[in-house]
Amino acid sequence: MTGQERQERKEGHEQPFAVDPWQVAEHGLDLTSLARAESVFALSNGHIGLRANLDEGEPHGLPGTYLNGVFELRPLPYGEGGYGYPESSQSVINVTNGKIVRLLVDDEPFDLRYGELLSHRRWLDFREGLLRRSAEWTSPAGRTIKVDSTRLVSLTQRAVAAVEYAVEAVDGPVRIVLQSELVANEQLPGGPEGDPRAAAVLEAPLLAEAHHSGGTKGVLVHRTRYSGIRVAAGMDHVIEGPERLDTVAESEADHSRITVTTVLHPGQRLRLVKFIAYGWSATRSLPAVRDQVEAALTAARYTGWDGLVAEQADFLKEFWDVSDVEIEGDVELQQAVRFAIFHVLQAGARSEERAIPAKGLTGPGYDGHSFWDTEAFVLPVLTYCLPTAVNQALRWRHTTLPLARDRAAQLGLAGAVFPWRTIRGEECSGYWPAGTAAFHIGADIAAAAARYVRATGDAEFEREYGLELLVETARMWRSLGHHDAAGRFRIEGVTGPDEYSAIADNNVYTNLMAQTNLRAAAEAAARHPREAARLGVDTEETAAWRDAAAAMFIPYDENLGVHPQADGFTDHQVWDFENTPPENFPLLLHYPYFDLYRKQVVKQADLVLAMQVRGDAFTDEQKARNFAYYERLTVRDSSLSACTQAVIAAEVGQLDLAYDYTAEAALMDLHDLGGNTRDGLHMASLAGACIALVAGFGGLRDHGEVLWFRPRLPTGIMRLGFSMMVRGQLLAVRIDHDETTYTLRRGEVIHLRHDGETVQVKAGRPVSVPTTNPPAQERCSQPPGREPARRQAQAGLSAGRITSGPDHLAAE
């Protein structure tokens, strides 16, 4: 099946979301794809995450309420263990569910599997940060009601979520019972068998410690069985309706319920506002955690529903003013990139010295672990739109340095070895060739820290946190690598970004990133000599870092005129793509790793990513030849790949191919291209879509003190605009096919490079310069059946499926 055929299959009934530039909307309800919609409509602030389960709790695809940093331990069994293997892993758990508001209509449960569902709509507007729902339903007994609900997870009050739930009688008097609940230890469905991407399901992970209910409030306190994390959840309510309302409060170990009963006549409404708060800690006492939740509920009730909604709108207004990416010519891609930016914001806004997981807090995929994805894809986007989130994410890495130092010592290395996958900082990967051996994560963290300091000028962060991250990762590289007889610095026995190759010598991406790390550490130590001396850094050590960086070995295949991904890679047998059935992708689910490792087949962009992050190490001719060579080997079994291929495709002049890859990255979850959106959204791919637009078509390179731009647009995009916060100044870039305009919206003056030429932009004086259109290039080929869908054909269809708001059904 070709990429186009795969896309056409997705264009059928499997795409339930209407196209709108500022929202994602679902008209009707498909019970077979509930889990997917629960991920797409998930709400989070980086601290709390709520999957978009229906308010009534059932039916559901995958229940999910997540708290960042709350996990359970589980053993890692080995058939044959080895020194240095992690003994346990960490899995995110579904904590106490506060979303549930059950409804009974004349004793009939409001369950959409029964009765007649006359209408059902859900929509998430990226400017409001609210998930809205509207339904009209006739019960099996023939009574019709309307239900409207709105849900938010506060971006301003990090411990708070809230639900507004209203019921209206339509065609006769009805007895209404609302049951607002807190439920712990919900039963969860099992995940797909044999798929390592699915989360480990942990049954009943919470041990009850306390419960209380009274009036309109309820609180449950639990403790995780093995990780010892105390979790408190609380709810309080404001109830409006007919004069006669009966309210009952009750609780038990895993359950608290506030029940409201009344009779509604046609046109009457019962409105319930539910405030939900969470607190958790591995060290604080039960009274302290419980009181934290009580205080958060008090603050939320004081703010009120209207106040929370207004705060949310104000926060997002400021965010979009700084962060919007505007596209003219492709409304579906416009929607997708705003969807991407919104969810990246949700993943990091209030993470506050906790990890940003690969799925954010939208689902249990990858067990809730954070990978190198965060530093390599998510943080570059947040650096220029929400730098405070980057500061917090890197400070979380800094808090894990003691564990990283212990891991390095265990491996016989100096400095710090950060984990491949983790929640709290310990290594959670039981497969060391793809885990421990992927040492490049240390350089990814160092690069993110250096980028943040360059973009913000935050010298205090560099002194207190960044310097130590750079020093300890540089020490690791100096001890991991060695100078050979020819004086070259080699790094051997490592795994690069491509997970279909492992334990290779001199992976180009790894070596170039290590070189960047070593140089950045030496420069930071020179800027902060006093702090460096406290870390034990002396001139001899920084000289050793500089020597290693200068002598870094970068393999090159003279016969083919390309860079091998690692030593000897281009000598391997090429994978038999012609005889690989379409149903055998992703390959890791159908072939043994040993066979993948010894063949030329690439899961995700590796050498191509090196050309993006270290373009200065390659000539333009080398980039073009390398890109063409690796295109025919890359199967994109990873969602991390398309965005990187988009960036380099644009750089080498293959703009339509870059357009195709950009759309694939942006639509990964809205079109469920990986088939696993049910487990949570792909944060790196969503962030990667932004990178593809800004670094690909905008040509942004930010590896030095001055920003470089090399804009060019594909034929399917008429105009591209974006803004960036740079050292407190707000730079706007607007690109069309003839010219590019740079405007300083905030600040006094900024210097940048456009197509290699220096440009000075001052406040109130936009600068317009020609957009260079590269010569047309022959389109590279991909492995059979792994071609990206042609975006040019799809873009023209988008306009026919636009909706102007939640009240309009999508046109056919």
Taking residue 269's Cβ as centre, other Cβ atoms within 10 Å add up to 15
Distance CA 475, CA 438 (A): 16
Report in angstroms the alpha-carbon separations of 398 from 184, 353, 424, 462, 525: 33, 9, 12, 11, 17
Q: Which of 744, 733, 725 is nearest to 323 (CA)?
A: 725
DSSP string spanning 78-145?
-SS--TT--SEEEEE----B---EEEEETTEE--TTSSEEEEEEEEEETTTTEEEEEEEEE-TTS-EE
Is the CB of residue 644 less than 8 Å from the CB of residue 688? yes
| β pairing state of 707-709 and 749-754 | parallel
**3-class SS string, 580-627:** CCHHHCCHHHCCCHHHHHCEECECCCCHHHHHHHCHHHCCHHHHHHHH
Distance CA 580, CA 590 (A): 10
Instruction: Tell me, yes or no, if 778 is annotated catalytic.
Output: no
Is the CB of residue 156 less than 8 Å from the CB of residue 276? no
CA-based radius of gyration for the chain: 27
Q: Which of 763, 759, 649, 639 is nearest to 697 (CA)?
A: 649
From the list 426, 499, 541, 651, the catalytic residue is 499
Amino acid at 499: E
Distance CA 281, CA 354 (A): 12
**Which residues contact residue 211 at a Cβ distance below 8 angstroms, ignoring those fewer than 6 apart?**
218, 219, 220, 221, 251, 252, 253, 255, 256
| Number of residues in the chain | 812
Q: Which of 720, 700, 496 is nearest to 610 (CA)?
A: 496
- Which 3 state secondary structure label does DSSP give 248? strand
Q: Which of 288, 260, 261, 497 is nearest to 375 (CA)?
A: 497
DSSP letter (8 states) at residue 773: P
Is the CB of residue 63 less than 8 Å from the CB of residue 94? yes
6 Cα distance to chain centroid? 24
- Which 3 state secondary structure label does DSSP give 723? strand
Both structure tokens of 7: 């896309």
Active-site annotation, residues: 499
